[in-house]
Amino acid sequence: MADIHIRKDRRAGRITFTRPQALNALSHDMALAIDATLDDWRDDPQVQLVIIDAEGERAFCAGGDIAAVYRAGLAGDHQVGRDFFRDEYQMNAKIAEYPKPIVAFMQGFVMGGGVGVGGHASHRIVCDSTQVAMPEAGIGLIPDVGGSWLLGHAPGRVGEYLGLTSGRMGPGDAIFAGFADTYLPFDEWPALIERLAAEGDIAVIKGRPRPDAPLEGMDLSAFGGRNVDEIMASLQSDIDETSLAALNRNSPLSMAATLALVRAARGDLSIRDSLAREYRFTFRATAESDFLEGVRAQIIDKDRKPKWSADASDGNVRALLGPLQDGGLTWEECE
């Protein structure tokens, strides 16, 4: 496949995203290829660890390639999105639970679907250019691909802050928030990849001291509010105009659902619980949320002026996160 290069290299399995012109956005076919490859390598004695990286300096993976989902949803076909999200989430769980080490090298933009691949690897390496974010509330969706699991396990109110504002994290913040493990300058990555492939041993991973993490010193107590309105009122009182502006830009429904997802994830026993809850929303997203309008405004027309109209009431949030008639996301393919 032209968009992804999969091969075995000495003692490592190698997965490289090869569409830098599209910021290595993750397509449905790419997600399926990763999933199938991990199955193939699970019991392969030659593969002692897996390395996931990407071509180009601008992005590891800037998100999911959702143009097909948008077009189908606009035409009234909601199954295209449901199939994509289902297969992607099963792949995310497989990465998180893989019995062999997975080392992800995440430069540049690491957003949405990119977090779903790299953010669940057992060893996550970042560099100076790394910018990690879950910006889904800005396109009328929710932090999915296991994003609610990561946000829910971030320290303090960092999860609520990042999920509601779509804030970006540099390498220090990404490590502090639990989205990455190791900082290493980009120019040192080729030598480390060479050693990993040659030796098949994660003990060769030696990082540098973590860069500063601005999030660590921020007062995010306002994001402990019971709901989005209460959080916005606190931000107004604190004169936190930057955060307030972000919340005013994003979909009210998406933010309300994000808040519920992040907080629910804190009680989940595994990433599967969080992914299953996310799927309840994304299963319904093209038909019942602000998603199509958000994609139109931010990605298709790029006018950056979404007209949010979806019901953001507590009752509708509960309905969108409620059980699906078909039973929801299943895990038979992940066993």
Q: Cβ(84)–Cβ(31) under 8 Å?
A: yes
- 3-state SS, one letter per residue, for 283-305: HHHHHHCCHHHHHHHHHHCCCCC
What's the CA gap between 230 and 224, in Å, rounded? 9
- Catalytic one among 64, 138, 146, 147? 64
136 catalytic per annotation: yes
- Catalytic one among 35, 53, 88, 144? 144
Contacts of 135 (CB under 8 A, 6+ apart): 63, 111, 112, 166
Instruction: Please give the single-letter amino acid code of residue 284.
Output: R
Q: Cβ(262)–Cβ(317) under 8 Å?
A: no
Q: Cβ(14)–Cβ(4) under 8 Å?
A: no
- Catalytic one among 53, 136, 160, 181? 136
What's the CA gap between 134 and 112, in Å, rounded? 5
Contacts of 207 (CB under 8 A, 6+ apart): 125, 181, 182, 183, 184
55 catalytic per annotation: no
- Catalytic one among 81, 113, 172, 294? 113
What's the CA gap between 328 and 56, in Å, rounded? 37
What's the CA gap between 151 and 143, in Å, rounded? 9
Instruction: Please give the single-letter amino acid code of residue 150.
Output: L
Structure tokens at 3: 């968009």
| Strand 59-61 to 182-183 pairing | unpaired
Q: Cβ(33)–Cβ(7) under 8 Å?
A: no
Active site residues: 64, 113, 136, 144
